[in-house]
Amino acid sequence: MNMPNPSSPRTSTADAAGTDAQFRLSWASIKRSTVFYPLIGLLAVCIVMVFASNSFLSANNIENVLRQVSINAIIAVGMTCVILTGGIDLSVGSVMALSGTIAAGLMVAGLNAVAALVVGIAIGLGFGAANGFFVAYAQMPPIIVTLATMGIARGLALIYTGGYPIDGLPDWVGFFGRGKVLGIQAPVLIMLVIYAIAWVMLERMPFGRYVYAIGGNEQATRLSGVRVARIKLIVYVVSGLTSAFASIVLTARLMSGQPNVGIGFELDAIAAVVMGGTSISGGRGSVIGTLIGALLLGVLNNGLNMVGVNPYVQNVIKGGIILLAIYISRDRKR
């Protein structure tokens, strides 16, 4: 029996064809990844800003960008979990303001700072649980529920403070907003830890599979035996918790509790999630993409400020980019 010669032209051609097919398959898989286009967008914006401003790559500017991004990125973690299930949370900015002002007020009133921060985190958890209960168990529309709790939380923050900031926090609290650990800024370190936990939850635990399944087909997920209401409750609790952690970082940076902080933060968080490749209708996306989206939004804001673009024009540019991101996400899901 004649055996094929490994060195024959026919065999070499077949191997080359197989290698080429594997390459095309790998490249297609990369392009289908939810983080592909956000990463390309981030690299493109960075390249443009390098040529537009000589100080863009300076150490001080990079630290400033990361510090500014950390707040939105932390909030966006919880928003990602909510949007993956097909929901939305408009209360994150107001919950952040309420958590921060009450924690600051308790510190100034003499309560131990650690206990005050725990109370602030508990407030975020409580509002998240309330949102989750009304959405998951009362089966109310997420946009209506979180719009209502947005007003409630903001109103409580203004009532508690009388509309004035609360100053006089212990000096060591400032570490969470201004300190460094091994050269890494504390807000950035907190952000990375939260993202690592969220990645494990969504990518390596059954909880994550249920979250994606609910966003993909809630009815089929329910019929398969998954406790959909419980998972929805948890994702809103996560959103409330990330809002509270963001409030700790921002309160520590400002060294005061501000009742008016967080206005519009829910829109920035949604923008980071969508620009990171997560489908606004749920079922597709990742927290890594959200981090890239938050960085993209932060770099864009920083770069436009550095080149002196009018703030009103900046809003138009960012709005256009968000629309483009939603269009790409819709087209890829289709």
Domains of the chain: 71-333 (1.10.3470)
Section 175-179 average pLDDT: 87
Section 181-199 average pLDDT: 92
Q: Is the pLDDT of residue 1 over 60?
A: no
Distance CA 74, CA 268 (A): 11
For residue 10, the model assigns a pLDDT of: 52
More confident residue, 58 or 147: 147
Distance CA 162, CA 143 (A): 28
Cβ atoms of residues 319 and 325 within 8 Å: no
Q: Is the dihedral of CA 319, 321, 325, 328 positive or negative?
A: positive
- 28-42, 167-181, 245-259, 293-307 — which one is most confidently predicted on average? 245-259
Q: What is the pTM of this model?
A: 0.87
Instruction: Name every residue whose Cβ is closer than 8 Å to that of residue 240 and which is 6 or more positions away in sequence.
Output: 78, 95, 124, 125, 126, 127, 128, 129, 131
For residue 214, the model assigns a pLDDT of: 94
For residue 275, the model assigns a pLDDT of: 87
- pLDDT band with cut points at 50, 70 and 90 for residue 325: confident
Section 181-201 average pLDDT: 92
Q: Is the pLDDT of residue 97 over 90?
A: yes
Taking alpha carbons only, the member of 136, 138, 311, 157 closest to residue 244 is 157
Distance CA 243, CA 120 (A): 10
Report the share of the chain in percent with pLDDT over 70: 88
